[in-house]
Homo-oligomer: A and B are copies of this chain.
Amino acid sequence: MQRTGAEQMANIGGANLPSVASFNESVVLDTIRLAGTISRVELAQNTGLTAQTVSTITRRLLADGLIEEGAPEPSTGGKPRTPLRMNASAGAAVGVHVDPYLINVVVTDLGGNTLYTAQATPPAKSGARPFVGKIVHQIKAAIGDSAVPADRLLGIGVAVPGPLDPGTGAIRHPPNMPNLGDVPLREEIQAGLGNDKFQVVVENDATAAAIGEHWFGADSTDDFAYIYLGTGVGAGLFLGGTIYRGVTGNGGEIGHCSVDESGPACHCGNRGCLELYCSPLAIVKAARRSGRSPIGEAYAKVCADAAAGRKAARSAISVAARHLATAAQTLVNVLDIRRIVLGGPALLDEIADTYLASIRSAIDAQGYTHQVRTVTVERSRLGVDAAAFGAVSSVFHGVMAPRLPLLAEPSPTRPRSRMLTSLGR
């Protein structure tokens, strides 16, 4: 077994000092952001950095306008502690959620304050050009109407259903969006904006939702899986304190995991995929509702009927809930996480409790899991706009999240040129 030849190299790089400096800078910034307000002493305690390093970094962040000081707090002797907090207005981003039935745009600042919001319907015409044109139009309107100064606009995040080609941001053969199939979305949007000053980040919708949950959601930094219910079903994974994308940027694809090997054939080539039971279309079909009304309306009706106790609808929802619970259990077992977050535009109020209860009960029933962990199952705080807020936070995350060469995320859809330092102004 001894190795003799020159074999494949390690794919991880060492850390030269400059990148470590900016890594520490982003660790400090992330700690301030998550804390709300925090003193320099607490910063040193929480980051493990020396007081001197914290002092140097916070001085630089203050000069850059990224953080600000509050009024000094009375101290029990010694120097009063000056609380630091993020300057929410130091930066903002546009987030676009592209869905077969909706183009949802939001603009928020770094603190998650909504500065602008708009919805539009994708064009009826077929072909990529009108669709991309509409997306670009919506982004331009958001940039114009939100009146964010150009030097504070950190970028544009676009959340789309997978599978993604990480090189171009193209959706590979999207079953629900043939118009956008294999269109190099990042370049097309960039070209449409006619301004390469704005970086465009294309992200899987479920991954975007998970990033959004970390940035704007629950007050927890624990690892979690975000089960995203939209036109399809996916999961965004937050593992080891950062977002997990996988080798090609398509991790968390639970929609095409088989939950029933003897189930029906799926367009993906597999059998009994989760999506065959849990997508709005599948649920509408299972409840045997007429397909004449638009899918969104028909789905909302099934959810309302289920809440009202109507049998066919209730049965369709409970089948979906059971399969979802199996997938959630698999995520807990494989990833060894303590938190499942459920959200997305298809998680309507009428069915949320049924889904949450089904997942909780399946996880509780597995004695095995109790022996090593307690799992919380919670609803996302981001509501039906999860993917749009997620798209915004994808930009913030790309620019500001602590990341070392070793942790480099293999997603060329996320241009690297504009890192933390670009925020200094």
Q: Report A's interface with B, CB cutoff 8 A.
A: 1-17, 20, 23-24, 27-28, 30-31, 33-38, 46-50, 53, 88, 111-114, 163-165, 172-173, 216, 219-223, 235, 237, 239-242, 244-254, 256-262, 268-270, 322-323, 326, 329-331, 333-338, 362, 365-368, 371-373, 381, 402, 404-407
Residue of B nearest to A5 (CB): B36
A40–B256 CA distance with the chains assembled, in angstroms = 46
Residues of chain B within 8 A (CB-CB) of A28 are: 14
Residue in B5, B34, B112, B333 whose CB lies within 8 Å of A254 = B333
- On chain B, the residues within 8 Å of A261 by CB distance are 259-260, 322-323, 326
Cβ of A163 and Cβ of B270 under 8 Å apart?
no
Question: Which of B262, B323, B362, B404 interacts with A406 by CB under 8 Å?
Answer: B404
Asked if A6 and B38 sit within 8 Å, CB to CB, the answer is: yes
B contact residues around A366 at 8 Å (CB): 256, 268-270
**Given the complex of chains A and B, what is the CA–CA distance between A325 and B326 in angstroms?**
17
Contact of A368 among B163, B222, B329 (CB under 8 A): B163
Please tell me if the beta carbons of B2 and A251 are within 8 angstroms of each other in the complex.
no
B221 near A336: Cβ-Cβ < 8 Å: no
Q: Which 8 pairs between the two chains have the least Cβ-Cβ distance?
A: A246-B336, A13-B48, A1-B112, A268-B368, A172-B371, A251-B336, A14-B49, A14-B47
B334 touches A252 (CB 8 A): yes
Contacts of A248 in B (CB 8 A): 336, 338, 372-373
Complex CA gap A172/B8 in Å reads 39
Structural contact, B219 and A8, CB atoms closer than 8 A? yes
11 residue pairs from A and B, CB less than 8 Å apart? A1-B216, A3-B35, A4-B36, A6-B35, A12-B30, A15-B23, A163-B368, A172-B371, A240-B244, A253-B333, A270-B368
User: What chain B residues lie within 8 Å of A252 (beta carbons)?
Assistant: 334, 336
Contacting residue for A329 out of B9, B20, B258, B333, CB 8 A: B258
Min CB distance A229 to B, Å, is 17
Q: Evaluate contact between B2 and A221: CB separation under 8 angstroms.
A: no
Question: Are B259 and A3 touching (Cβ within 8 A)?
Answer: no
Q: Verify A251–B335 contact, CB threshold 8 A.
A: yes
Report B-chain residues with C-beta under 8 Å of the C-beta of A240.
240, 244, 406-407
A122–B106 Cα distance when bound, in Å, is: 64
**Which chain B positions have C-beta within 8 A of A249?**
336, 372
Q: Which of B2, B111, B247 sits near A337, CB closer than 8 Å?
A: B247
What's the minimum C-beta distance from A404 to chain B, rounded to whole angstroms?
7
State whether B173 touches A371 (Cβ < 8 A).
Answer: yes
Identify A14's interface contact among B2, B53, B338, B362, CB under 8 A. Answer: B53
Q: Closest chain B residue to A373 by CB distance?
A: B248
Closest Cβ neighbor of A162 among chain B residues: B372
Let me know if A16 and B251 touch, CB within 8 A.
no
Residues of B within 8 A of A112 (CB): 1-3
> Known contacts A28-B14, A36-B5, A111-B3: does B257 contact A259 (CB below 8 Å)?
no
Q: A36-B7, A248-B336, A270-B368 are in contact. Are A257 and B15 (CB under 8 A)?
A: no
Q: Given the complex, which residues of B lie within 8 Å of A254, measured CB to CB? A: 333-334
Chain B positions within 8 Å of A20 at CB level: 15, 17, 20
The CA of A8 and the CA of B113, in the complex, are separated in Å by 20
Closest to A13 in B: B48
Q: Which of A3, A219, A269 has the most CB of B within 10 A?
A: A3
Known contacts being A14-B27, A24-B15, is A235 close to B8, with CB within 8 Å?
Answer: no
Interface centre among A268, A365, A368 (most CB of B within 10 A): A368
B241 contacts A405, C-beta separation under 8 Å: no
In the assembled complex, how far is the CB of residue A109 from the closest CB belonging to chain B, in whole angstroms?
9
Judging by beta carbons under 8 Å apart, are B24 and A10 in contact? no
A269 contacts which chain B residues (CB < 8 A)? 365-368
Beyond A14-B48, A372-B248, whether A253 also contacts B336 by CB under 8 A is yes
* Contact pick for A165, options B1, B37, B372, CB 8 Å: B372
